[in-house]
Copies of this chain bind each other. A is one copy, B any other.
């Protein structure tokens, strides 16, 4: 009998989530069925999109149920297999996160290969869903082309840091990022090689962006929404594109966010704003893994992780993520990772 310790949604958060919105539960896993594998999770993902699933609102994914274990990305090791395609000892990427152990349908598990020098947790970040989000959003949704001036908000996060570096490696004329602390700004300009970066808490976003991009921008990759989107619309050049990936500034809002006030500029400047999800872009995954995996393995592309230890710390990790306490991907380490 395998026991799993799991995180459940205890109450729907109002505004910013608090610890009492979550509860821990211990459960015994049922017997494994044909086509399933039993997995011991090593790393769990907490991601901004999960905030939306905690509301009882119709959205692109159904809401998490109260008093049930939540789901999310996870990397784990296979302890037992009743599926031909997966062997005991394999490492798999799957969606039964927020728990230490899980029975997973093999059809929903991807067997991972070890890339030299790349930890398995990278498959939850730069080589996983956030990395593919950056890649597909920049190349498809924003229609990035070499020579573009690119602005990305939330640039020190898992998605944003990949966006800026992919843009740089693919020939952007200039890459600009915003983040919410001086330390993150230093990280962007230094380690990640952004051409300019600013702390949005230092002053109005529009003024700081104008200083960083006096001739305007061609592409905006939006992780933040609100004032950031308004500033980007002001600075986008004629024919510019914005890929709208997230609006984390509004995720904890209890009232609708009445912005951007300058939306009418999209007519005169013939701008395209395109909202997107990563889901329909998984056809790109192999191409992405080859290309970005190469950048990562060669060290041309950096990534950072903020790691929290233990399943009981997962709610705090998520709360901290929404408060911007991470640099790069926020990871919860739960298992033996030897």
Contacts and interface: CB of A to CB of B under 8 A. Distances in A.
Interface of A: 52, 59-60, 225, 229, 238, 244-247, 250, 256-277, 280
Contact of A275 (B225, B229, B266): B266
Nearest to A52: B268
Contact of A267 (B238, B264, B277): B277
Contacts of A263: 225, 229, 247, 257, 259-260, 263
Q: Which of A259, A269, A271, A275 has the most CB of B within 10 A?
A: A275
Nearest to A222: B267
A61 B274 CA distance: 25
A276 B267 contact: yes
B280 A267 contact: no
Contacts of A238: 60
Contacts of A246: 267
Main SS at interface, chain A: loop
Nearest to A266: B275
A208 to B, nearest CB: 20
Contact of A256 (B244, B256, B261, B270): B261
B266 A270 contact: no
B259 A269 contact: no
B274 A268 contact: no
A141 to B, nearest CB: 9
A272 B276 CA distance: 9
A271 B264 contact: no
Given A247-B263, A256-B261, A267-B276, 20 more contacts: A60-B238, A60-B268, A225-B263, A245-B267, A246-B267, A247-B267, A256-B262, A258-B259, A263-B263, A265-B275, A266-B274, A268-B275, A268-B277, A270-B274, A270-B276, A270-B280, A272-B272, A272-B273, A272-B275, A273-B274
A224 to B, nearest CB: 11
Nearest to A276: B270
Nearest to A242: B273
A285 B220 CA distance: 32
Contacts of A269: 60, 275
Nearest to A264: B247
A250 B273 contact: no
A215 to B, nearest CB: 15
A268 B60 CA distance: 5
Contacts of A280: 270
Contacts of A261: 256-258
Contact of A268 (B59, B264, B271): B59
A174 to B, nearest CB: 22
A284 to B, nearest CB: 15
26 contacts: A59-B268, A60-B267, A60-B268, A225-B264, A244-B266, A245-B267, A246-B267, A247-B264, A247-B267, A250-B264, A256-B261, A256-B262, A259-B263, A265-B275, A267-B275, A267-B276, A267-B277, A268-B275, A268-B277, A269-B275, A270-B274, A270-B277, A271-B274, A272-B272, A272-B275, A273-B273
